[in-house]
Structure 1
Amino acid sequence: MARFLSLIILPMLTILPFSYASPQLMLSTGSSLLVEEYRQTFLVSPNGDFSCGFYEVGRNAFSFSIWFTNTVDKTIVWSANPKSPVNGRSSMVLLNHDGNLVLIDVNGTVTWDSKTSSGKGTTLVLLDIGNLPLTRGTRLVSGYNSLYFDNDNVLRLMYDGPDISSIYWPSADYTVFQNGRTNYNSSRIAVLDAEGYFRSSDLLKVKSSDWGTVTKRRLTIDYDGNLRMYSLNASSGSWIVTWEAIAKMCNVHGLCGQNEICKYLPSLHCSCPPGYEMTDQQNWKKGCRPKFIKSCNRSYKVEDFEFIKLPHTDFYGFDRTYNQSISLEECKKICLEICSCSGFTYKTGPGLCFTKVILFNGYSNPNFPGDNYIKLPKKLGISTSIVSRKSHLTCNRNIPQIVEGSSSMYGMNSVDKNWTTYYVFAAILGALVLLFIGTGWWFLSSKQNIPKSMEEGYRMVTNQFRMFTLQELREATGKFKEEIGRGGSGIVYRGVLKDKRVVAVKKLTNFSYNQEELWAEMSIIGRINHMNLVRMWGFCSEDHHKLLVYEYVENESLDRYLFGNLSSERLIAWSQRFKIALGTARGLAYLHHECLEWVIHCDVKPENILLTRDFEAKIADFGLAKLSKRGSSSFKLTHMRGTMGYMAPEWALNLPINAKVDVYSYGVVLLEILTGTRISSGITVDGMEIELRQFVQVLKQFLESGDVKDIVDHRLQGHFNPEQAMVMLQVAIACLGEKNSRPTMNDIVIELLACADQDDHPAYSW
């Protein structure tokens, strides 16, 4: 635990006049604590949440630290000497008569001091209030990784290793504004508040998945370089990850060494590319070395080298040259003519060529829209036909399995698993994990006489997403008293759990899975976590009772605010509409591109977009198609999923389906947000009813004219941002185009973010 520091709701060691502290909670001048007494807590905060004293970091090695009192592993939140532990004999902490707190090693060396001189009669107390903010000049550090404010006032994560230094969050592929940040600030401060919000002066705003609840939290750079927010499970004393900065761990720089490639197989894995071997067989961090001698002298000849293709692979950064709109052969020629060029990354379409001098930050991802070509001597005799594994995003039952969305907000369809050969290994590992967790829950639910320590261990494994008992949910919902919705698959009730979380509990009907099968299906969905997706907290399976437990979203669904006769109080303003459009795009982009289990929703519509009290969008009912009984006679159209009016044309044509069906549906929703009318149920122009494709042609005329005031919801009375409206119209038209020409959800997020900063400007009134 001493390898990282944490930004948390943190009490500080504070020097106060003697009268401010009670004798039980303070250290007075001239007092000391010997390291041999480390099992005795030195200081305790008044509410007992935090403790301070000597902490054992190794054999006969100790740090002077503050930690959470009621955690299983005594989680450290601050250490005075993380890099210089003191000896386990005769070392001490002393508050001397000058009012200075010093840490003294066995040989009398002062390894740390508080640099205070408050004089005689002062005391040291441990407070239980306050926050440790991250400000200019301070860093959160874990090994070679750090969180800090850069010179442009933007909060960043950086890998600063012995060989390279590179920023990996926010993504360097996008501008500051495209990443949702701003460099127009000078305060440089970031704070985690009591409700689970982490905010910084560059406009970063994130929140924990359990935000709003009262609990202890910490924000930590872990040993793997990722920034995570943890919430304390008070009953077990363990920590739950409630937010993380990097969804794909291979995007964290420095996990693999030089010349290495990071992959998910299905867990993180470092490997050497062709022509390279491990530098140290015991340590991947030391990278890979070439099996050939790199030499740039007169003996270098272009004809002696060739390229090995590494599909969907890149080595991020350290580009030698950058060229665009050139062919693959021209890119090869450029690299061959530069002796120091180790390879290049090429992206088809725009014809982008990035030559690499050195190969750092390598990663392979089937979503990466390019290939790497590594430069090797022909004499190595390596085959140029090396092909990496490919994955496809699809709803078609004959293509590898992914998670799908439901056909309606409460309806569910079936999908068959058809793993290809290269997923067999992942499936076996996944089955073993599920067997372990399922067995653990069987022990718990069947109330066996197992040791308490073992029971707690099982609960630690599943404390974030878990199985509820029927009795728990009866109590939470007041015996299923408050109904908040219903549909073809069940009834939804409002409930409050014992930890004060408000939840939505769905009673499933016509559902025949047993407990083990339900757990296997739910475990995938339970791992999905994004601020723009409705969180699933768990499920219940007892006899014929099958229930799902969701995060409760206060403001109902988007359709209730867009359509019908609304009072002026319920009419959503332009700024809220744009925020909803952007949030929905972000949620879908996460499902399509970021989460480890790729998901196609297949039923994007306003009814499945729920709104928080702050009108943040949360997409509901993704992944529920997996829960329907396979082969059920009640679902004859097994390939048709979605709602008429929002479904892409390829559904009706029985064509292979991929993530672009969600893009099409999003385009319809975007038009409905823009116009405030139900586009999906038919369009009337000048008294004539026309099809959506005809309406798109009409919209293109408005786009060309640059005048959109007649398109935007008239109920806004001209109060909207015309630049944002133009971008939304342009994006919607692109989404409704031919399948292959539609943008990705990542592209859409970037387009919307480019004008998001205009949202705070006064809206134009026509």
Structure 2
Amino acid sequence: MRSQTLVCFYLLFLLALFFSFHSATSKSHLQLKRGASLSVDDASDFLTSPDNSFTCGFHNLGSSNAYWFAIWFTNSKDKTIVWMANRDRPVNSRGSEVHFRGDGTMILTDVDGTVVWQTNTTTTDVAIAKVLNSGNLVLENPQGDILWQSFDFPTDTLLPFQTFTKNKRLTSALRKGSYESGYFNLNFGSDNVLRLISDTPDTSSNYWPNPDLNVYTNGRTNYNSSRVAFLDDMGRFLSSDQLQINASDMGYGIKRRMTIDYDGNLRIYSLMNSTGLWEITWQALRKPCSVLGVCGRNAICVYAPDPQCACPPGFEVNDPSDWNAGCRATFNETLLHSQQVKFMEIPHVDFYGFDLNWTSPITLEACRDMCLKDFRCLAFSYRILGQGFCYVKSALLNGYESPDFPASIYIKVPSSVQPPNPSSLFESGTMCGYAEPERIVGSPSMYDFTPKRVKWIYIYSFCAALGGLELMIIVLGWWFLFRKHGVPASVEAGYRMISSNFKRYAYAELKKATTNFKTELGRGGSGTVYIGVLSDGREVAVKKLGDVFQVQDEYSTEISTIGKINHMNLVRMWGFCSEGRHRLLVYEYIENSSLDKHLFNSNFLTWKQRFAVALGTAKGLAYLHHECLEWVIHCDVKPENILLDGEFQPKIADFGLAKLSQRGGPGSEFTRIRGTKGYMAPEWALNHPITAKVDVYGYGVVILEMVRGIRLSNWDVDDDYKNEAALTSFVRTVKKKIERGNSSWVESFVDPRLEGKFSRKQAETLVQIGLSCVEEDRNKRPTMASVVQTLLECEDDTEIQISDNL
């Protein structure tokens, strides 16, 4: 009897729990009808999208008394907001509500009844309000027509298929952890080009695309006046000014957003379902300090190693919580008009713009005198590019440090200002947190100009000793933690995985791993590759580089480049060795060797595998050219450099051996010959500047070889063009057959070993892409991003054409 009583009690408890839970969640709506409200007093009073991806309601920031009516990602860990109605005017935590009035207007009121926000829909035809699965809050009539939508009023975020037009803009948050509007904007300019603009209290200027280059050099066009852009559900961002962006994880089934962050950088994020965290899959600016005005007046954006704002010597921060307020002088600025002044030199630093004048050629002393004689001059920049260049500054705005900037800024200060503390540039709060690590800016030195003497004060040795001591402590700490104390196997394995992503190996270790370099996998112009097994059991490919890489500078560039780049269609580098004359690279081992081994012999690929290789290779090259944090030209695209993994997916090798060049910078073109005969673009022989279009040419040859199944050097030459090269003859022959309307021209060029088992549409697309890629005029060749897009459009075509000719 007692047991039955307990069971009944237990059932009643569960029933009560169910009803309490039901009542607590009963205010979660899929839609609101006219006359209904959402109240800030009830945390469960909100709208959700049908698939529960998005929630709309009142959102609180921390423990504050302020609330915003917003839409956020339901399943993200931090409930990431994508839209706000009252961004710059939060409401009270008590008594505020959103009311869907009978006249069709949705209105937000504060506790005192003040109208904070409302829609512009005063029509009784409005029937319901709801959140779509796209994250769009809409007001609809009974027929389902949208009469108002939040997509027309974006804040800082663009969602997939949210059209971005000439009348819209994205505006950053003012600071980290804040929702109020900041100073950075994304919008279409009057020239029809999509731009990032810094609109601070001091100045307004665009900083992306590169303001030092014209529209066409930046890869844009201003002829299309439609001014429209959107992010699709594959991770592609397309704009009417010909801008195309691809997320590094491009594909379906991933929640994404494009956001202009508080630091002024535009980024695409992908949601990791397992953790609820966001991963950056594209960003507009590799160096966040390139954002103009990110640190305010008199401040400098430095890498230490993450981006931070700092005050130069003689200045102090106005508001540590808001770097937009910049820095103020610690001295009486009227003293700058006296003769007793000196100049603080800060190497590799510049303040962009506000030049009173610039002069060249000129000496450093003459440049100094120009600044001394002009009461408006606050500093001067001096650089030597073959000859001296002097830039006299009237204001210290847009300050940034770049390790490769070939100049120094000399800031005018009174003679009474003391030399800076060695760490003065690094005591500031972190400003941005997304950039890759850079080296720490050199500590400022004092260049003391007085009428009688010039005095240098060096403090670099102190910084070097401090950095070395810090590094030693970190290394000893990790060694003590993992070698002297037991840790769970999963933790140790995770640490080993992270640390082994880029590790410096001893030569003896690699010699042992490869059994004294016994088994050779292949060799090429850059070196010889051997198979090896590391001490942790991983199979690796170890490349011994040739003499050309004995120069330390080139080798350092190699490893820093390839170590930062990661894409599923690129071979991953695990580490390197640099001991004496030994230069080695350690790569992941790819099971199925290179493409040529599976294309030009009896062990050939199926059509499905060939198309997958063509698409994957295009994705890898597009990532190198357009999406990775460095702009990389491969310069030697050929079947031997396309490796195939266990599932015959392609991975491009040897891309790190090419010269890096910055977008639009003076190093964006180079002429040192690399490559393999037959895959080298005509501009090599013509001694023309080399751009990413050389990779497009090599890719074109590769996919034509994949279609034909024959090495280019073995192609039959048409009798009409027997005096021409095989590729030229092939191009002419194909174009001639297409012009004649020969419907079977594709079948005549596809590898006969496939016995007609291929997709005619895909084959035709590959041949046409190949022909466009091998155009002699590089300007007529497509970009790899457009090649990827074209291939994706016919990826799902699975129709197998059985040729009548076979």
Question: Is 1:51 aligned to residue 55 of structure 2?
Answer: yes
Structure 1 unaligned regions, length at least 5? 1-22, 390-399, 403-418, 449-454, 468-486, 491-505, 540-545, 562-569, 571-576, 593-599, 624-641, 648-658, 680-708, 720-754, 762-766
AA paired with 2:34?
Answer: T
Offset at 1:136?
0.9
Distance 2:536 2:675 in 1: 35
Cα distance in 2, alignment partners of residues 345 and 558 from structure 1: 56
SS of 2:281's equivalent? strand
In 2, the alpha carbon distance for the partners of 1:201 and 1:438 equals: 54
**Residue 40 (structure 2) aligned to one of 35, 51, 62:** 35
Q: CA deviation at 1:292?
A: 3.6
Matched residue type, 1:339: F
Structure exhibiting the larger radius of gyration computed from Cα positions: 2
Residue of structure 1 equivalent to 2:167: 137
CA distance 1:348–1:388, shift in 2 (3 Å): farther
Q: Secondary structure at the match of 2:61?
A: strand
Q: Distance in 2 between matches of 1:145 and 1:434?
A: 40
**Would you say the 8 A contact 1:29–1:120 is kept in 2?**
no
Provide, for residues 697-716 of structure 1, a one-character-per-residue CA deviation record: whole Å limited to 9, x for no partner. xxxxxxxxxxxx99997457
- Relative to 1, partners in 2 of residues 1:547 and 1:224: Cα closer, same or farther, differing over 3 Å? same
1:320 partnered with 2:324: no
Identity %: 35
- Aligned Cα root-mean-square deviation (Å): 5.8
Number of residue equivalences: 531
2:380 paired residue number = 344
8 Å Cα contact 2:247/2:627 also seen in 1? no
1:370 aligned onto 2:407: yes
| One of 194, 201, 218 as aligned partner of 2:240 | 201
Q: How big is each residue's C-alpha offset from its partner over 1:80-102, in whole Å with a ceiling of 9 and x where there is no partner? A: 11211222222111111111111
Tell me, yes or no, if the aligned pair for 1:335 and 1:344 is still in contact at 8 Å.
Answer: yes
8 Å contact from structure 1 (residues 675, 712) kept in 2: no
Task: Please report the TM-score for the alignment, with normalisation by the length of structure 1.
Answer: 0.57
1:166-177 equivalent positions in 2, closer than 5 A: 166-177=205-216
Query: Could you give the per-residue CA deviations for residues 335-385 of structure 1, whole angstroms, max 9, x where no partner exists?
Result: 3332211122223125433221111121222211222222334454759x9
- Given that residues 538 and 549 in structure 1 are in contact (C-alpha distance below 8 angstroms), is that contact kept between their aligned partners in structure 2? no
User: Which runs of structure 2 are paired with 1:743-758 in the superposition (5 Å)?
Assistant: none
Q: Contact 1:553/1:610 (CA < 8 Å) preserved in 2? A: no
- Aligned counterpart, 2:392: 355
Report deviation, 1:272: 2.6
1:510 aligns to what? Answer: 533
- In the other structure, the counterpart of 2:681 is 674
The TM-score normalised by the length of structure 2 is 0.54
What's the counterpart of residue 697 of structure 1? none
Q: Is the 8 A contact 1:674 1:712 kept in 2?
A: no
Match of 1:179 among 204, 218, 221: 218
What SS is found at the alignment partner of 1:84?
coil
For structure 2, the 5+ residue unaligned runs are: 1-27, 135-159, 173-181, 427-437, 441-462, 503-518, 523-528, 542-558, 576-585, 601-609, 611-616, 645-649, 660-665, 687-722, 734-776, 784-806
Given that 2:289 and 2:302 are in contact with CA atoms closer than 8 Å, whether structure 1 keeps it comes out as yes
Separation of aligned partners in 2, 1:387 and 1:88: 42
Superposition map of 1:597-676 within 5 A: 606=638, 620-621=653-654, 667-668=674-675, 673-675=680-682
CA distance in 2, matches of 1:583, 1:530: 9
Question: 581-590 or 666-675, which moves further after superposition?
Answer: 581-590
Aligned-residue offset at 1:191: 0.9
**SS of residue in 2 equivalent to 1:219:** strand
Identify which range, 153-162 or 317-326, moves more after superposition: 317-326
Tell me the amino acid that sits aligned with residue 399 of structure 2.
Answer: G
Cα shift at 1:581: 9.8
SS of 1:257 mapped into structure 2: coil
Aligned to 1:162: 201
User: Given that residues 569 and 620 in structure 2 are in contact (C-alpha distance below 8 angstroms), is that contact kept between their aligned partners in structure 1?
Assistant: no
CA contact (8 A) 1:100 1:113 kept: yes
In structure 1, the partner of 2:468 is 424
Aligned partners of 1:310 and 1:388 also within 8 Å: no
Distance 1:665 1:715, change over 3 A: farther
Conservation of the 8 A alpha-carbon contact between 2:304 and 2:439: no
How many angstroms apart in 2 are the aligned matches of 1:430 and 1:206?
Answer: 39
Bigger RCO (CA 8 Å, 6+ sep): 1
1:126 Cα deviation after fit: 1.4
Matched residue, 1:503: none
1:243 is aligned to 2:282: yes
Counterpart check, 1:25 vs 2:30: yes
Q: Residue 77 in 1 paired to residue 82 in 2?
A: yes
Secondary structure at the aligned position of 1:144 is classed as: strand
Correspondence list, 1:538-617, <5 A: 548=588, 590=630, 606=638
- CA distance in structure 1 between the aligned counterparts of 2:597 and 2:397, rounded to whole angstroms: 45
The residue type equivalent to 1:92 in the other structure is E
What is the DSSP-based 3-state SS (H/G/I as helix, E as strand, rest coil) of the residue aligned with 2:468? helix
Specify which of 59, 69, 74 is matched with residue 64 of structure 1. 69
Aligned to 1:214, the other structure's residue is in SS state: coil
Q: Which of 225, 246, 252 is the equivalent residue of 2:291?
A: 252
Which residue number corresponds to residue 574 of structure 1?
Answer: none
Q: Counterpart of 2:55 in structure 1: which amino acid?
A: S
- The match for 1:126 is 131
Partner of 1:222: 261
State the Cα deviation string for residues 698-745 of structure 1 (Å, max 9, x = none): xxxxxxxxxxx99997457689xxxxxxxxxxxxxxxxxxxxxxxxxx
Distance in 2 of aligned mates of 1:46 and 1:588: 36
2:111 counterpart (103, 106, 112): 106
Q: Give the superposition deviation at 1:104.
A: 1.7
SS at match of 1:65: strand
Q: Distance in 1 between matches of 2:597 and 2:222?
A: 33
CA contact (8 A) 2:40 2:97 kept: yes
Letter in 2 for 1:590: E
Q: Which residue identity is paired with 2:630?
A: Y
The answer on whether the counterparts of 2:305 and 2:439 sit within 8 Å (CA) in structure 1 is no
Distance 1:28 1:229, change over 3 A: same
